[in-house]
Amino acid sequence: MASHRSESLFRWVWEANRGNPVHENATFALGGDGNLVLADADGRVAWQSHTAKKGVVGLKLLPNGNMVLHDSKGNFVWQSFDSPTDTLLVGQSLRVGAVSKLVSRASEKDNSNGPYSLVIEPKQLSLYYTSKNSPKPLLYYTFGQHMYLADGLLAQVTLDSRSETLDGSIYDIILKYVVANKTSGDGLILRRPKYNSTLTILRLGTDGNLQAYTYYHMTDYLWAWDVTFSLFSQDGRWETQCQLPSRCGNFGLCMDSQCVACPSAHGLLGWSKSCAPPKVTSCRPGDFSYYKLAGVDHFLSKYTKGEGPMKEGDCRGKCNKDCKCLGYFYNQETSRCWIAYELKTLTKVANSTHVGYIKVPKK
């Protein structure tokens, strides 16, 4: 998505062949049978629309960025809006029971699926971190507290942009949501730029942050795309960057959106990108112990209830018996327990009854 004035700053908004790249001289063609095919030069099919013999007569790229295959009456047989990758455009939706999530890229250069996902669920719109060490995705943020569903179920979320003034000087960037069996919905205003924000994309980044980028034609082309919304930011308007699982890399203590220490059995050391949790290779309880951190939260602690109530010793016992457990976190006021299969970023909090225990091998 871009204008002629900013061709060097295109924002790629959709990819057909996620994690399955093609090579030089590949082709992208609409066949006579109506099937749209991306194929390597040797004929290997990397992706296809599966629309053969379904009445497709043409392909169009619409002004809103939606690429469609249509029949002779103009009806959409297939559309890219139904197959999002990591980005939503204005007018594009996530729907429960259908296209239900965005998935980040692994990195800027690797277009395979990354560890982060934005998922619409019946009761909430949530962000998850997927770890090979964890039996299920780990919740690190939910919009649930901002959505008024009453006893209803969330059905659809759509990125929208609308003018708030007659002269079009102020626009709202909105996440509209619809509750099942209701004719109208509500919306979360993400940002209110003082210019036309119709050309806005909402992207789940490789770092797990959800950001909106808006094209502003009146600025210098080098800065044509403004970051108009960041879910995780230094000012913490929605949430601080400390809540991002990988804010401090593999391990670190975060405060005020900054990585301030590397927690160790010898105390808090200076943080660097090389900070890493202890490696425990044995599952036998006699081969490992724990060191304590007071006044810390795991990224799971804020948006999940944990297990319990239970005694602190029982929480430790659960980690002892689980070979994949790297540590556990405990709220001494509520007696809730969180088993950590990933440590990543820990957040410094003022309440010393929020404690963490990191598994470490015995010498």
* Domain boundary assignment for the chain: 19-84, 85-237, 241-361
- For the entire predicted model, the pTM comes to 0.92
Q: What is the mean predicted confidence (pLDDT) over 228-243?
A: 95
pLDDT of residue 145: 87
User: Distance (Å, rounded) from C-alpha 261 to C-alpha 252?
Assistant: 6
Residue pair 352/294 in contact by the 8 Å Cβ criterion: yes
Q: What is the pLDDT of residues 6-61, one digit of tens each?
A: 454 678 899 999 999 999 999 999 999 999 999 999 999 999 999 999 999 999 99
State the DSSP string of 5-65.
Answer: GGGGG------SSTT----TT-EEEE-TTS-EEEE-TTS-EEEE---TTS---EEEE-TTS
Instruction: Give the DSSP H or E segment for 315.
Output: helix 312-321
CB atoms within 10 A of CB 304: 15
Q: What is the pLDDT of residue 219?
A: 66
pLDDT of 160 higher than 70: yes
264-293 pLDDT, tens digit each: 999 999 999 999 999 999 999 899 999 999
- CATH superfamily label, 19-84: Bulb-type lectin domain (2.90.10.10)
Looking at residues 341-360, what average pLDDT do you find?
97
- Whole-number Å distance between alpha carbons of 139 and 129: 6
Gap between the Cα atoms of 271 and 309, Å rounded: 34
Mean pLDDT of the chain: 92
Instruction: Give yes or no for a contact between 277 and 289, defined as CB atoms under 8 angstroms apart.
Output: no
Q: Has domain 85-237 been given CATH number 1.10.3470?
A: no
Is it true that 19-84 and 85-237 share their CATH fold? yes
State the average pLDDT over residues 56-80: 96
Compare 2 and 361 and report the one with higher pLDDT: 361
The sheet carrying 288-294 orders its strands as 288-294, 354-361, 327-331, 336-340
- Confidence band for 220, pLDDT divided at 50, 70 and 90: low
Distance CA 281, CA 323 (A): 9
Asked if pLDDT for residue 125 goes beyond 80, the answer is: yes
